[in-house]
Amino acid sequence: MPILAEEASIFPESLLDEHPDSPSPPRWMAVYTKARQEKALARHLLQHEVRFYLPLVTKQNMIRGRVVQTWLPLFSGYLFVQGGEAERLHCLTSNRVSQIIEVHDSATLTHDLQNIQRLIQADAPLTVERRLQPGQLVRVVAGPMMGLEGMVVTYRGKTKLVISVQFLQQGVSLKIDGCVLEPIG
């Protein structure tokens, strides 16, 4: 049972459904928050109807002998905002922002965030991977993750598929059987 109900992690709900291949994809910003302020900033942005995405995953903790479920940001300290100068100012006036980084390749970031959202919706057991190294690019050819593209890594003898957000040089991984992967290119 969760301590608190799940909060909005995306506004509007269709934010990532938009196609990044359009002639002028919307401008993205990566907002680096002050410590543990990601969800508070998301509430502030929701109140002001600013377009944002905060990837949240569940984590189970033991508190006073009871197992409780909490919602944590997948990429600690980061929230993604779509818009222009007015949206940037809404972020800054919240007093919860450390730094705002403009994304120069919005199409790639949108594609990466769509992949992350798909994994979260599938309730896949995710592990955050930092400072990704180049590896074999693959595509999942069967199962519920069919069509996802990422990099395959081997960790302690287990095959993992890494889906990355290249802009942050971070990503998430999940255990997957090598038999459902095919090389790209």
> Does 136 lie in the same domain as 112?
no
Instruction: Indicate whether 133 pLDDT > 70.
Output: no
pLDDT value for 102: 93
Residue found by looking up tokens 């506004």 in the block? 11
* Domain membership of residue 87 as a residue range: 1-121
pLDDT band at 47; cut points 50, 70, 90: very high
- CATH number of residue 61's parent domain: 3.30.70
> Does 105 lie in the same domain as 185?
no
Cα separation, 71 vs 5, whole angstroms: 9
Tally Cβ neighbours within 10 Å of residue 176.
Answer: 20
**Are β-strands 97-102 and 28-33 bridged in parallel, bridged antiparallel, or unpaired?**
antiparallel
> Does 144 lie in the same domain as 113?
no
**For range 144-151, the mean pLDDT:** 90
> Does 178 lie in the same domain as 92?
no
pLDDT value for 5: 72
- CATH number of residue 160's parent domain: 2.30.30.30
> Does 136 lie in the same domain as 113?
no
Which residue blocks in the chain are alpha helix, DSSP H? 38-47, 85-93, 106-121
Instruction: Indicate whether 160 pLDDT > 90.
Output: no
pLDDT value for 153: 84
> Does 110 lie in the same domain as 144?
no
> Does 70 lie in the same domain as 11?
yes
Contacts of 179 (CB under 8 A, 6+ apart): none
Instruction: Please tell me the least confidently modeled range out of 67-81, 82-96, 169-183.
Output: 169-183
Q: Which residue among 121, 146, 163 closes a domain?
A: 121
With beta carbons less than 8 A apart as the criterion, state whether 15 and 53 touch.
yes
Higher pLDDT: 28 or 61? It is 28
> Does 54 lie in the same domain as 90?
yes
The CB-side HSE value for 154 (13 A sphere, CA atoms) comes to 4
- Mean residue pLDDT of the chain comes to 87
pLDDT value for 21: 59
